Structure 1
């Protein structure tokens, strides 16, 4: 089932998400719904808070970027109870957008390398390292689990300049091809 995307201004996007276990209610269906929703919405990643669930889960599919980074061929993963343990390397800037903040893109600076611990969709534990675009997407989705949005990484002056656009988005003044949920 394609779930509605939670839009900027909704309180669930600012909560620190909770760990889950294998017995989380209707987990298998929710995992499938996450993939369907991400693909339908043309996302590269999707975190559970973006569909209204304050749990530590996100999905990413970077395989469309394999032309630029061949190691991303077939790079499709689910991260459950993720914890970034290290961020290193040169910081680099790239334009980012977010399904929860439709129509807005900004250059965001992030470290090039990360180490992360997580469980996959089969509850197998992993300790992995990622670099480049994969590390960027993981950091973006991981931020959602911490109640952080990509616009929080903007300089204070830029945040002030974006305030009007963000307020308009929170009121539903945007276009999106997907269903969405606004704060009440």
Structure 2
């Protein structure tokens, strides 16, 4: 179960709709195992297959929640329906989001406070649950990846301008940029905690 490089904004697979999973064989099991390993090495709470260069509708998560959902899980061919976000400016302290594919940056984004989530697991078993709070945010974030969107694509005008400027400054926004969890310096500062 190897850790895989994480693609950075600008890589085409991140900006197009992922394909449905149709083959539930051993390759899918290996992919999900690799995603868990990569997510763990990157200290992420979620990871979508396009973030490791695979254009399939799969995401994983590792996040405690108050919704009775296992802290670690995966969904294949998911559907996520969210409540409408509240109007107004997002709170910089309470609603800032980050992404392994926009490493080290975070910007405030208003999202729905609850979601209905459904899909299947690697054995084809149906999964359905309601998510709230930050767990709902995680579900929306990962689902966006499967539809070709990064969270920075959803920022309001004020924060979108800052995100575009930061991405340009980093030299991202073009194909071919990745980072390797556990090898490269952690862009979110988790290395500093040890």
TM value normalised by structure 2? 0.79
Cα distance change of structure 1 residues 169 and 47 upon mapping to structure 2, 3 Å threshold: farther
Corresponding position of 2:63: 62
Whole-angstrom CA distance in 1 between matches of 2:163 and 2:9: 12
Cα distance change of structure 1 residues 177 and 55 upon mapping to structure 2, 3 Å threshold: closer
Runs of 5+ consecutive residues of structure 1 not aligned to the other structure? 64-68
- Cα displacement string for residues 64-106 of structure 1 (whole angstroms, at most 9, x for unaligned residues): xxxxx5556851110100012x322663751110000011101
SS of the equivalent of 1:103 reads strand
Corresponding position of 1:66: none
Corresponding position of 1:76: 72
SS of the equivalent of 1:21 reads coil
Whole-angstrom CA distance in 1 between matches of 2:38 and 2:45: 11
Corresponding position of 2:53: 52
Corresponding position of 2:83: 88
RMSD over aligned CA atoms reads 2.6
Deviates more, 1:31-40 or 1:16-25: 16-25
- Give the 5 Å matches for 1:2-81: 2-23=3-24, 26-63=27-64, 70-71=66-67, 74-81=70-77
**Contact preservation (8 Å) 1:61, 1:77:** yes
SS of the equivalent of 1:97 reads strand
Q: Which has the higher strand share?
A: 1
Whole-angstrom CA distance in 2 between matches of 1:73 and 1:125: 14
Runs of 5+ consecutive residues of structure 2 not aligned to the other structure? 185-194
Cα distance change of structure 1 residues 160 and 56 upon mapping to structure 2, 3 Å threshold: same
Cα distance change of structure 1 residues 165 and 173 upon mapping to structure 2, 3 Å threshold: farther
| Residue 42 (structure 1) shift | 0.5
Whole-angstrom CA distance in 2 between matches of 1:39 and 1:106: 22
Corresponding position of 2:132: 131
**Count of matched residue positions in the alignment of Structure 1 and Structure 2:** 174
**Contact preservation (8 Å) 2:49, 2:55:** yes
- Runs (4 or more) in structure 1 with deviation over 4 Å come to 69-74, 171-180
